[in-house]
Amino acid sequence: EEACRALLLLDGPTASAQAALQRASAPMVAKLGQVVRPGEYCCGTCSVSVWRHMAAGGLDGADQQCWLEGGLRTLVAHRTGDGRWRRYPFYYTVLALTEIGLPGAREELRYAAPALERAARRDPGQEVYAVRRRALAERALAQL
């Protein structure tokens, strides 16, 4: 899903890149059509990857609006009460929420705001992933 998303964002300049995107997307669109609850794929991480792909404009044979809204409803159902969600990796989910242009995404960012504020205050030191997590927290908070 992430590779397809990257091709879309890079506007896959070659015919072979476009063909690869089509070959990879077609079976996924078919699988998504068989899912009982749109918005949820096999696990939290895979669900978020599908949302990000759709938010970038991919998987256009699937009902993107239905899937993204279903995913946002799923997040509400998986809230833990502390700004996080069961099943869904926190920072990956926040990253997806910053890319989904729906009101429900902003609502979920508001829900996550206390955890994001804590992350934004943390000193990341020199640890590269901590620096990235802090930057993401700041970017997400700026959208509120």
Q: What is the pLDDT of residues 116-126, one digit of tens each?
A: 999 999 999 99
| Of residues 87, 83, 89, the one with CA closest to residue 108 | 83
For tokens 């000193």, name the residue. Answer: 123
How confident is the model over 34-84, as pLDDT tens digits? 998 999 999 999 999 999 999 999 998 899 999 999 999 999 999 999 999
Q: How far apart are the C-alpha atoms of 51 and 102, rounded to whole Å?
A: 12
Using DSSP, state whether 79 is helix, strand or coil. Answer: strand
